[in-house]
Structure 1
Amino acid sequence: MRVSKTWPRMVPVTYSSRPAICPARAWNAWKEAAGLADKPNSPAFRRLHLRWHTVMQGGLELESVGDVITLTGERTGIEIRFTGHSPRRGLATSSRVKGHVRIVVAKQGGWAPHSKVLARYLEIVDQWEDNALTGVL
Structure 2
Amino acid sequence: MHFAVAGREHELSFTRVRDYADTPAGIQADLRVSKVRPRIVPVPYGSRPSICPVRAWQAWREAASLTDPDGPAWRRLHNRWHTVLAGGLQPESIGDVVTRAGARAGIDIRFTGHSPRRGLATSSRMKGHDQIVIAKQGGWAPHSKVLAGYLEVVDQWEDNALLGVL
SS at 2:44's partner residue? coil
Partner of 1:45: 74
Provide the secondary structure at the position in 1 that maps to 2:87: strand
Identity of aligned residues (%): 71
For 2:127, which of 91, 98, 101 is the aligned residue? 98
Q: Distance in 1 between matches of 2:102 and 2:115?
A: 10
User: What is the rounded CA distance, in whole Å, between the counterparts of 1:83 and 1:97 in structure 2?
Assistant: 21
What are the equivalent positions in structure 2 for 1:120-135 lying under 5 Å apart? Answer: 120-135=149-164
CA distance in 2, matches of 1:56, 1:73: 24
Paired residue secondary structure (2:141):
coil
Alignment RMSD: 2.6
Shift in CA distance, 50/9, structure 1 to aligned 2, threshold 3 Å = farther
2:105 alignment counterpart: 76
How far 1:100 sits from its partner (Å)? 0.7
TM norm structure 2 = 0.70
Q: Which has the higher strand share?
A: 2
More helix by share: 1
Aligned residues: 136
Larger Cα Rg: Structure 1 or Structure 2? 1
Further displaced range: 127-136 or 45-54: 45-54
Q: Does structure 1 conserve the Cα–Cα contact (< 8 Å) formed by 2:32 and 2:39?
A: no
Deviates more, 1:73-82 or 1:91-100: 73-82
Corresponding letter in the other structure for 1:2: A
**Distance between the aligned counterparts of 2:30 and 2:116, measured in 1?**
13
The answer to whether the aligner puts 1:24 opposite 2:76 as a matched pair is no
- Tell me, yes or no, if structure 1 residue 113 matches structure 2 residue 137: no
Distance between the aligned counterparts of 1:3 and 1:90, measured in 2?
20
User: Take 2:50 and 2:40, find their aligned partners in 1: how far apart are those partners?
Assistant: 23
- In structure 1, stretches of 5+ residues that fail to align are none
Would the aligned equivalents of 1:19 and 1:25 in 2 still touch at CA under 8 Å? yes
TM-score, L = length of structure 1 = 0.83
